[in-house]
Amino acid sequence: MENVFASLQDLLVGLFAGMSSLAVILLCVFCGLLALLAVYFIRVHIAYRMAVNRHRDPLGWALLSFFVSPLLTWVILLVVGDAR
């Protein structure tokens, strides 16, 4: 049975062949930041959907979530409950 990690290492070496170490580091940092940004926007979208489900202004709650904290916004939305 072939070692999976060895083949993965060969794949990564082949992908980054010819690139300087600095370019590889910058690419990894960029991809990491992009992933964190995607997770943040998913959390803002969850706050938006929570506001819609509770009959509250979704844009206002999404903006609050974006500028303050998505987790804090979730807690506030859970505490204030439904607007009806």
Report whether pLDDT(36) > 70: yes
What's the number of CA atoms in the CB half-sphere (13 Å) around residue 48?
A: 10
Average pLDDT over the chain, rounded to whole? Answer: 89
The confidence score (pLDDT) of residue 2 equals 65
Q: Which residues contact 82 (CB under 8 A, 6 or more apart)?
A: 54, 55
What's the pTM? Answer: 0.74
Q: Which among 28, 25, 23, 72 has a CA at the least distance from the CA of 46? A: 72
If you average pLDDT over residues 7-32, what whole number do you get? 84
Report d(CA 9, CA 28) in Å as an integer. Answer: 16
